[in-house]
Structure 1
């Protein structure tokens, strides 16, 4: 019986080693895999390259990873949003590297990695410092910048529901970077708020097929791992 359900986040993130390139989903708090980030903190993994939308807010989640000096480099679109004081302090101390990528370009670079494209041309960032050192081309009278795929070792994402094969559906704006990150990653780990029996997910609503997911962990409303997630009773043949 195929089942990608694991009993806890600690077991799910166990394969992540020092120096890994990790994509972390979320748009603000929506879709943020807080439990997986917490498990990564407890594991002590360091020298990470993190690919995400922003550089963390407050003192939790991604900001906690940064504050613990676990991240060597961050690739993101919005490093200086409200509450990003941890990143700003580290950056001013030159204690962290930053690669700034426009939001649409970030999503498309991840998607390109997932679908096997060698890269793409985009007009975004042409004529700016972000285009420095990159190939540019004029096509049909418009200038473009060539961007390369963004491959990652691991993707940490959160979805609303999943099944034991790893199929995922999302809730509203939590469907942000999760789907393309799962496609780009060599190993995808997802937390879900509920696990459905096989056939319990509307196939038309499945955004991330299980082929892109390696492990899922059920999270209770309290935020604790649910050992019930590993029991066959939650699934059907």
Structure 2
């Protein structure tokens, strides 16, 4: 069996996770803390952020705090990244994870559904990347930027087309930045997990026959043979 080299220690590094108040973002933040990172969660919902900080605060290592931020607002994202870098004296790791998911036929979701997905998922990743990169280039250990895409962005999924299109754009952004930022000492990684059991059906938006769309998506998102264990996925991504 091939033995992988031990991952370098990230203890003491400053990490930002967007969409960090629930689901995969929350789990990745916990994995970063277990490795000794000082973690800052960014999300829109202040109450959800408060619950996330309370939960993660029980971990015996690392630290966590939260900042309310809508990643669709590029100026707000720049301000928050600047604040984190200033307050912590550094910014080393950024995981761009924020987004939405819409379920339904393309004609039912309409152009507005596609615009919303691109704004939250792609523009959110773009704003996060462009705001973080100047700070990541100054990281003494080499900055690390992860853009969370999806298998659904590599292979379009019917009834998830706004999500698939936006995640496809994230994949292209990650690939391009990976090449461009190597010269600056920043590692950019595109992350493309499959469907995970994170309760995403509880937060999805549905179009068309909403009852039927919810039923099939709930079954898909919770089926062990069709979806990934989210805790294992978060551990692998952070590793």
Coarse TM-score class (shorter-chain normalised): 0.3 to 0.5
Tell me the TM-score normalised to structure 1 length.
0.41
Tell me the TM-score normalised to structure 2 length.
0.41
The structure whose residues are more often helix, as a share, is 2
Higher relative CO (CA 8 A, sep ≥ 6), structure 1 or 2? 1
The structure whose residues are more often strand, as a share, is 1
Larger radius of gyration: 1
